[in-house]
């Protein structure tokens, strides 16, 4: 249990009363999610009040049954009282149904809304956020944390309110029924409250650690499953089983401590409560024997005392849960507060139809946020004329992909400007900017959906005929028709497997359908066979026709056909020109050609 000291330190930190207050305050913003459902909430509260009142009135029925029925010996009165009791219980059933249904509905509705709000926020965040936060952890917030909040709102919250009503009502009825006995109960209360507060605090801290450990398990398993082929080809199954087992056991140890504290809490509260009831029965029983109170009064008193005791026990239990939920709420609401680093202009400029220079980089310097000291791009000045094809070449790590990332505003440069049709891209609405660009990545991303969905991702409004037309132009129609279910065949994770060239043609069809002004193309480095390469090349030619194109080039044919070649190295542009001039003027270009391309071709 090497977690113990860390957990204890954690508990120490949490013992500050201010922190405790903060924990419950963190639940408050949840109310803004409940606000739209005021009517449901009011109805639920009404049902809650009515059922609590009926519960309390049952005590009077008990008194009446004993005093008027048993002790007076009247069968008629007993019958009338029992009928009244049945009526009350029927009302109680209706009230309980309404309370349970409405509260659970509210819990489900609010957690659904929070899930949507969190997802809506996540998809708009800047990509570097996802480098700092593991995806498994974000998933667990969307699922586990929201599920916990749902059970809190749908059940714990209603239970604690109900118990609070019953506690207050029960206490009032106790005093009304018998003052002396009530004082016995009052003396017992602090004995019940003190352990509740001590253990409640520990339970909360352990619950947070426990949830963190569960999220770690999810992240770990997710990564292994995603990379299962690497795991198997290195025959690391057994090692991974052991490592995963250790993660699970770590979570179990924390969970065990939490469960132990919580069990103590419940056991102590129940023992103390019933010990108090027993002493009360003894004192009250003596009073009944000596004629100071009626049997019915004692019966009613015991009934109310049990109500008060169970209410206190319920509140003690729910208190721990509410503290757990405070942890989830804090994490979720923190996530809702994250702002994207990519700021949109308040008054976006209107996109110009066209200008002679499609894209201009002016003195652009950029470092990735995770590596602020290492420049990824330095002093970039580049003009890409409208309608032309510009090839980017350079050794690995030269900054070619980074240039694409900045163009799409996944990151903003620390210095300099990037202009699109002569307007600074930070003045444009992000959707306008990104709608104008089409990216075909080196590793095409397919979603686990059918071919229709995957191609239509380029333009969700496209008709079936337009999708087929795009596939034909991308030289993909033929192989799609040979798939088991044609365009309705599933691709992606659980779908049919496509070859690298086929995936690329789907990605090209998607870009054709998008019909962007500017095409960003990252050529595949993996060698395709001659026929596949021919298909992909024909598809690309179709896509590049009359379109400003920026290509990270890996093929000689692309480089030779380009209107301009930009040679990059270590984040800088070292040379620009056409193939023949660069072969003589740029030693790096010559070296790249010799290395990357077939030597005999490079002198063409």
Ligand X SMILES: Nc1ncnc2c1ncn2[C@@H]1O[C@H](COP(=O)(O)OP(=O)(O)OP(=O)(O)O)[C@@H](O)[C@H]1O
Instruction: List residues near ligand X by CB under 6 A.
Output: 131, 368, 370-371, 376, 394, 396-402
In the bound complex, what is the minimum distance in angstroms from residue 366's beta carbon to ligand X?
Answer: 9
In the bound complex, what is the minimum distance in angstroms from residue 473's beta carbon to ligand X?
Answer: 28
Q: Are residues 309 and 272 in contact, defined by beta-carbon separation less than 8 angstroms?
A: no
Query: 523 catalytic, yes or no?
Result: yes
Sheet holding 548-552, edge to edge: 437-440, 518-522, 548-552, 389-393, 564-569, 572-577
Angle subtended at Cα 279 by Cα 277 and Cα 281, rounded to the nearest 5 degrees: 70
Coil, strand, or helix at residue 351? coil
C-beta of 110 vs 398, nearer to ligand X: 398
| Alpha carbon distance 291, 168 (integer Å) | 29
129-137: which pairs have CB atoms within 8 A and are 24 or more residues apart?
A: 129/338, 129/340, 129/341, 131/370, 132/370, 134/219, 135/219, 135/222, 136/215, 136/218, 136/219, 136/220, 136/222, 136/223, 137/215, 137/218, 137/219
| Alpha carbon distance 411, 370 (integer Å) | 12
C-beta of 367 vs 489, nearer to ligand X: 367
In the bound complex, what is the minimum distance in angstroms from residue 401's beta carbon to ligand X?
Answer: 3
C-beta of 298 vs 568, nearer to ligand X: 568
| Alpha carbon distance 180, 573 (integer Å) | 92
In the bound complex, what is the minimum distance in angstroms from residue 30's beta carbon to ligand X?
Answer: 35
| Alpha carbon distance 138, 427 (integer Å) | 31
C-beta of 310 vs 442, nearer to ligand X: 442
User: Look-up: residue for tokens 């004692």?
Assistant: 298
| Alpha carbon distance 405, 292 (integer Å) | 87
C-beta of 67 vs 569, nearer to ligand X: 569
C-beta of 233 vs 370, nearer to ligand X: 370
In the bound complex, what is the minimum distance in angstroms from residue 592's beta carbon to ligand X?
Answer: 11
In the bound complex, what is the minimum distance in angstroms from residue 368's beta carbon to ligand X?
Answer: 3
| Alpha carbon distance 579, 559 (integer Å) | 7
Catalytic residue among 247, 362, 523, 533: 523
The first and second tokens of residue 109, run together, are 């509705």
The first and second tokens of residue 210, run together, are 């426990």
C-beta of 378 vs 537, nearer to ligand X: 378
Q: Are residues 367 and 445 in contact, defined by beta-carbon separation less than 8 angstroms?
A: no
In the bound complex, what is the minimum distance in angstroms from residue 192's beta carbon to ligand X?
Answer: 56
Residues acting as catalytic residues: 523
């Amino acid at each position: 249990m090497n977690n113990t000291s860390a957990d204890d330190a954690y508990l120490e930190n949490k013992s500050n009363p201010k922190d405790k207050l903060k924990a419950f305050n963190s639940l408050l913003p949840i109310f803004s999610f409940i606000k739209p459902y005021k009517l449901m909430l009011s109805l639920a509260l009404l049902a809650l009040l009515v059922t609590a009142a009926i519960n309390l009135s049952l005590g009077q029925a008990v008194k009446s049954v004993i005093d008027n029925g048993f002790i007076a010996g009247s069968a008629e009165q007993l019958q009338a009282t029992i009928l009244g009791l049945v009526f009350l219980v029927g009302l109680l059933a209706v009230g309980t149904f309404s309370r349970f249904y409405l509260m659970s509905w509210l819990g489900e509705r609010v957690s659904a809304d929070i899930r949507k709000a969190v997802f809506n926020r996540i998809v708009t965040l800047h990509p570097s956020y996802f480098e700092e936060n593991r995806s498994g952890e974000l998933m667990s917030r969307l699922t586990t944390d929201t599920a916990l909040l749902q059970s809190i709102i749908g059940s714990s919250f209603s239970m604690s309110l109900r118990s609070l009503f019953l506690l207050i009502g029960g206490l009032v009825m106790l005093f009304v029924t018998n003052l002396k006995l009530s004082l016995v109960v009052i003396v017992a209360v602090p004995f019940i409250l003190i352990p509740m507060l001590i253990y409640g605090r520990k339970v909360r801290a352990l619950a947070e650690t426990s949830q963190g450990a569960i999220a770690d398990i999810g992240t770990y398993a997710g990564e292994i499953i995603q990379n299962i082929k690497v795991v198997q080809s290195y025959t690391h199954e057994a090692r991974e089983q052991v490592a995963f087992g250790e993660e699970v056991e770590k979570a179990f140890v924390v969970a065990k401590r939490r469960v132990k504290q919580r069990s103590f809490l419940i056991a102590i509260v129940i023992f103390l409560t019933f010990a108090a009831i027993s002493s009360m029965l003894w004192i009250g029983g003596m009073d009944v024997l000596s004629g100071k109170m009626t049997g019915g009064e004692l019966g009613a008193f015991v009934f109310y005392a049990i109500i008060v005791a169970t209410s206190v026990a319920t509140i003690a239990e729910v208190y721990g849960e509410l503290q757990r939920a405070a942890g989830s709420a804090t994490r979720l609401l923190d996530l809702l507060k994250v702002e994207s680093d990519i700021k949109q202009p308040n008054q976006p400029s209107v996109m110009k139809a066209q200008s002679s220079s499609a894209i201009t980089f002016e003195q652009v310097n950029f470092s990735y946020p995770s590596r602020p000291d290492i420049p990824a791009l330095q002093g970039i000045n580049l003009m890409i004329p409208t309608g032309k094809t510009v090839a980017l070449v350079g050794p690995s790590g030269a900054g070619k992909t980074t240039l694409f990332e900045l163009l799409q505003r996944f990151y903003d440069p620390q210095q300099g400007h990037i202009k699109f049709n002569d307007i600074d891209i930070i003045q444009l609405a992000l959707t306008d900017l990104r709608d104008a660009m089409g990216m075909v990545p080196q590793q095409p991303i397919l979603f686990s959906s059918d071919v229709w969905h995957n191609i239509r991702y380029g333009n969700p409004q496209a008709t079936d005929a337009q999708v087929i037309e795009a596939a034909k132009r991308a030289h993909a129609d033929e192989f799609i028709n040979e798939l088991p279910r044609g365009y309705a065949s599933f691709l992606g994770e659980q779908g049919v497997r496509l070859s690298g060239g086929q995936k690329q043609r789907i990605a090209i069809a998607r870009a054709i359908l998008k019909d962007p002004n500017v095409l960003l193309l990252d050529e595949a480095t993996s060698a395709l066979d001659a026929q596949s390469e021919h298909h992909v090349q024909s598809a690309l030619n179709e896509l590049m026709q009359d379109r400003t194109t920026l290509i990270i080039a890996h093929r000689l044919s692309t480089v030779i056909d380009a209107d301009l070649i930009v040679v990059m190295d270590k984040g800088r542009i070292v040379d620009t020109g056409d193939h023949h001039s660069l072969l003589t003027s740029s030693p790096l270009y010559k070296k790249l050609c010799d290395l990357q391309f077939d030597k005999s071709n490079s002198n063409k």
